[in-house]
Amino acid sequence: MQTNPQVLTEEQLRMFETEGYLIVKGLFQPEELRDIDATFEEIGNTVVPGHFEPVLDQEAGDPLKRYPRVMHPHRFNATAKKYMLHKPVMDVLADLYGEEALAAQSMFYYKPPGSRGQALHQDNFYLQVEPGNCIAAWTAIDPADEENGGMLIVPKTSDYALVCPEEADSSESFTTHLVKPPKDRKAVPAIMDRGDVLFFNGNLIHGSYRNKSQNRFRRAFICHYANASATQISSFYRPLFRRDGSEVDLDVNPDGGPCGIEFGTAYPH
């Protein structure tokens, strides 16, 4: 049950329902964004086994070896957990779900110049939230556009069934899975300013461009959530957290999705 007043307009709710995504501005204050900047600048110069394992003396080659994504920073950093449970974001999620959200995952992408993108995919293939669906809150820490590897979304695919991915082009994608959109759907860029938050559900097909810029990072703080009425999720995302920070331990989803158990659980998003 949703316990907070509605913060989204009816037009915004219709946008999410019909197009499968919604960009919301103003959910982070400038000082909060600076706090995120400082936190991940510090993390970016360390090694956190199992979460962030860069090659710190990397001088050439794949820039993602020096700046891989940070996985689950909320599990070792209080600031990351605080912003995963950021009240303005949780309030939007409650409107989108029609009930409270549970936080399942946090990530931080540095995406330096020259970095490969991420092939088109569907998030709930990995999270396996049931019943219901996951929703991503993708916060642009830098402006994101076509040049520096901004997000690609395929509108009106939020009700498209989860499908077994094909092999992605490893020269352009750092992940191995590719979900091709339906023939009548095209990927479009989500142009975002610093601090904008893109929300989309777990079936929406999305990905990102290569960062083709010479000197622009495309940093993003990305969290995934489940609806409070969900009972199962992939084991990689447990425990989850209520907005007050208390833990929720959903059952492990035994269903491997459209590709079987081994395929579905071996590639955490």
Mean pLDDT across the chain, nearest whole number?
94
Specify the pLDDT at position 266: 42
Sort strands 232-233 and 251-252 into parallel, antiparallel or unpaired: parallel
Q: Which of 67-76, 108-117, 148-157, 164-173 has the lowest mean pLDDT?
A: 164-173
State the Cα–Cα distance between residues 268 and 222, nearest whole angstrom: 14
Specify the pLDDT at position 53: 95
pTM of this structure: 0.94
Q: Could you give the count of Cα atoms lying within 13 Å of 240 in the half-sphere of its Cβ?
A: 28
What phi and psi values does residue 236 have, to the nearest 5 degrees? -60, -20
- Sheet containing strand 206-208, edge to edge, reads 188-190, 151-153, 206-208
| Token reading at 225 | 């959530």
What phi and psi values does residue 102 have, to the nearest 5 degrees? -115, 130
At residue 81 the predicted structure's pLDDT band, cuts being 50, 70 and 90, is very high
Specify the pLDDT at position 121: 97
What are the residues facing 247 on neighbouring strands? 241
Specify the pLDDT at position 265: 44
Fold classified for 10-45+62-265: Jelly Rolls (2.60.120)
Residue whose token pair is 């449970």: 85
Specify the pLDDT at position 58: 65
Residue 61, by phi and psi: left (phi above 0), alpha (psi -120 to 50) or beta? left
CA 88 and chain centroid, separation: 17
- Overall residue count recorded for the chain in this entry: 269
* Annotated domain spans of the chain: 10-45+62-265
At residue 4 the predicted structure's pLDDT band, cuts being 50, 70 and 90, is confident
Specify the pLDDT at position 2: 76
End-to-end CA distance of the chain: 28
| Token reading at 153 | 């979304």
Q: Residue 260 pLDDT more than 50?
A: yes
Q: Residue 57 pLDDT more than 70?
A: yes
At residue 256 the predicted structure's pLDDT band, cuts being 50, 70 and 90, is confident
What is the rounded average pLDDT of the residues 63-88? 97
With pLDDT > 70 as the criterion, what percentage of the chain qualifies?
96
